[in-house]
Amino acid sequence: MKAAPSSLPFHMETKPLVMAVARQRLRTPRRPFSRVIKMNGKAKRDVHRDTHQEITDHIIEAIEAGAGQFEMPWHRSGGGMPVNAKTGNLYNGVNVLSLWVAGDRRGYGSDKWATYRQWQDLDAQVRHKEKGSPIVFYKETTRDVVDPVTGNASEEPSYFARTSWVFNADQVEGYTAPDGDTPTRNLVKIIENADSFVANTGADIHNGGERAFYSHSSDHIQMPEKKRFTGTKTSTPTESYYAVLLHELTHWTGHKKRLERDLAKRFGKPAYAMEELVAELGAAFLCAALNVTNAPRPDHAAYVANWLEVLNDDKKAIFTASARARDAVGYLSGVEKYNG
């Protein structure tokens, strides 16, 4: 069988980004590199486009203009937000982040959570030795307050924090999630050159469940079924599917067997947020290179904006992430060409 040709339409040069240059770019508008050459005795400006920098600049412009709220591009039974299995109420505040992190670290495929007793009320049982995840809730009480001027006493509401422990639906037995409005028709159109590119990288990709993630421990990519991708207001189901797949593929390049991307030395605790920036920019670069979409989707900007908030709006971070994303795309291009 004839090997599939390389899917990337250009040869990639991967060079680290110098932070001094990044600072200069933040101060002045980005212009494409150009030089003056002579043709037929006349000077002519030869403009060399830097595709990656263009995409990065477009994303920054979208962030500055207000990227909006990021939407999950695939259908999930909980709408992408942790939800209480018994009450149907969405968790809020810091509990959302807490349960997202817990679900991501432990590889849960459901957005349904409940306390031990709530699962029992649903005729389900938490499995032996399963560990709960903490959430915080506030209880209201009253306290007596004395006015220092009049000496009159009055009652005022007071709140104190309590911790509770919840378990994911993947940790229990006897519970069947309602099908609800799970899509049954696949709206994703196959892009052959993108599929060929991904296959030739040799990445281990599993399909199923409701979550998209890359697992460092098992070194595999998990993707929801194609039929779950319903798109967003600004992206088709096809664009959304391949953007998510290429995002996780960029994560895959960071494994110690490949680029051994360690961002903790530079960013410390926010290294996870930085890795997400790298993955989303890598997805934007690959979407353009593989003709999944001709322009950076607003979804990219919304996602990047969320993580820039975690990095305290440090826009310099996006240039470092851009350089690491270039390295990742360059690595994938080389592996794909070798295997293809």
Q: Please indicate, yes or no, whether residues 70 and 87 belong to a single structural domain of this protein.
A: no
Q: Would you call 165 exposed, middle or buried from its count of C-beta atoms within 10 A (0-12, 13-18, 19+)?
A: exposed
- Is the backbone of residue 130 left (phi > 0), alpha (psi -120 to 50) or beta? beta
What was the pLDDT predicted at 162?
79
- 173: Cβ–Cβ under 8 A, 6 or more apart, which residues? 124, 125, 127
Domain boundary among 126, 154, 173: 173
CA distance 276 to 281: 9
Residues 125 and 61 in one domain: no
Evaluate whether residue 306 is within a structural domain. yes
Residues 215 and 239 in one domain: yes
Per-residue pLDDT at 35? 33
Contacts of 105 (CB under 8 A, 6+ apart): none
- Domain endpoint, select from 146, 173, 200: 173
Tens-digit pLDDT profile for the chain (340 aa)? 333 433 333 333 333 332 333 333 333 333 333 333 333 444 444 344 466 676 677 677 777 777 777 666 766 554 467 889 999 998 887 787 778 778 877 878 788 999 999 999 999 999 999 999 988 877 777 778 788 888 888 887 776 677 889 999 989 999 887 765 556 678 899 999 999 999 999 999 999 877 889 998 999 999 988 988 988 888 899 999 999 999 999 999 999 999 999 887 766 667 888 898 899 989 989 998 999 986 676 788 888 887 777 666 676 788 888 899 999 999 999 998 888 7
In a domain, 14, yes or no: no
197 plus 319 within the same structural domain: yes
**Total structural domains within the chain:** 2
| 209 and 314 both lie in a single domain | yes
Per-state percent for the chain, helix, strand, coil, to nearest 5: 40, 20, 40
Range of the domain at 117: 83-173
